[in-house]
Amino acid sequence: MFKVIIMRNELITDATLVCNYINGDEPALEVLIIRHKQRIYSFIYSKVYDKDVAEDIFQDTFIKVIKTLKRGKYNEEGKFLPWVMRIAHNLVIDHFRKNTRMPKFSNTGDFNIFSVLSDSTLDAEKSIIKEQVESDIRKVIEELPEDQKEVLMMRMYRDMSFKEISDNTGVSINTALGRMRYALINMRKIIDKHNIILTN
Amino acid sequence: MAKLYSQKNPQKQIDLNPKDETIQFLLDYSKALSVINCNKMKFEALLN
């Protein structure tokens, strides 16, 4: 029976096939799709110029067709093909509207979107290096004299102002500034002496 | 009447047809979809 429909499909009008499909004749849909697929797909492709997008819109068009027919909302006023074309046309418009809201960049040619966008999170290698650098710095700080270490820890790790450091340690602001300066000078010396590389 | 010497553009004919998988998907979708009428409301059910 299926073969008969395929063989005679040119004889059966769209309206009859639609009617048969609504009444539960599933193969009628295949005849309709095969009959019109080329025109509908070409129409979509001529607007979007992308095979994958055209494929998606073609699929969405027929999903809408199937839903409308099965829900019994299709009226026979218009013809089947112009109706499907109108659905496809509306979906093409939706596609372009969506793309203007969220433009799509393809990585073809000399422009690569990933040269503009970067991932702010560190990858595994960089996070290992970061840990290494931080642990080296902690070792260097441990080498400093106690008074310089105290000021540096308060300033860098606890984010205290020199006024707060002065209040906490009971020395003048100038002394705190001086200790910070010597702490940095001494750290540079230790780094140079041991050839420590602190780069990320 | 002027003769037309223009040749047909020897561009490759692009196969403008959807993939067979797409059509098969639509046919399967159609078979799986059933609309249930219930008190003037319509529900769609997708059965595998």
Q: Which domains does chain A have, with CATH numbers?
A: 2-111 (1.10.1740.10), 124-193 (1.10.10.10)
Of A198, A162, A191, A155, nearest to A177 by C-alpha is A162
The predicted structure's pLDDT at residue B13? 55
Is the model more confident about A100 or about A63? A63
Pick from A152-161, A172-181, B5-14, B21-30: least confident:
B5-14
Tally of domains in chain B: 1
Q: What is the pLDDT of residue A71?
A: 87
**Where in the sequence is the domain holding B32, given as residue range(s)?**
20-48
Q: Please state the separation of Cα A192 from the chain's center in Å.
A: 44
* Higher-confidence position of A196 and A3: A196
pLDDT digits (tens, 9 = 90+) for A8-51: 556 888 999 999 999 989 999 999 999 999 999 999 999 998 89
Q: Which of B30, B39, B43, B46 is nearest to A69 (CA)?
A: B30
Q: Answer yes or no: do A67 and B33 touch at CB < 8 A.
A: yes
Average the pLDDT over A136-158 and give the result: 91
Structure tokens at A150: 């105290």
User: Between chains, do A29 and B16 touch, taking CB under 8 Å as contact?
Assistant: no
pLDDT of A185 reads 93
Nearest-neighbour CA in chain A from B45: distance (Å)? 11
- CA-closest candidate to residue A160, choices A135, A177, A138: A177
Which pLDDT value is given to residue A103? 64
Using the structure block, give the residue that is written with the tokens 């040269």. Answer: A115
Taking the alpha carbons of A24, A27, A30, A31 in that order, is the dihedral positive or negative?
Answer: negative
Token pair for residue A163?
């006024």
Q: A178 exposed, middle or buried (CB, 10 Å; 0-12, 13-18, 19+)?
A: middle
CA distance A135 to chain B (A): 57
Task: Flag whether pLDDT at A105 surpasses 50.
Answer: yes
Cα distance between residue A43 and residue A140, in whole Å: 70
What's chain A's average pLDDT? 85
B11-34 mean pLDDT: 85
pLDDT at B21 over 80: yes
What is the structure's pLDDT at A151?
A: 93
Six-digit token string for B2: 């002027």
Q: What does the CA dihedral A37, A40, A42, A43 come to, rounded to 10 degrees?
A: 180
Residue A153 has pLDDT above 70, yes or no: yes
Residue A4 pLDDT: 47
Four-CA torsion A130, A112, A52, B9, nearest 10 degrees: -160
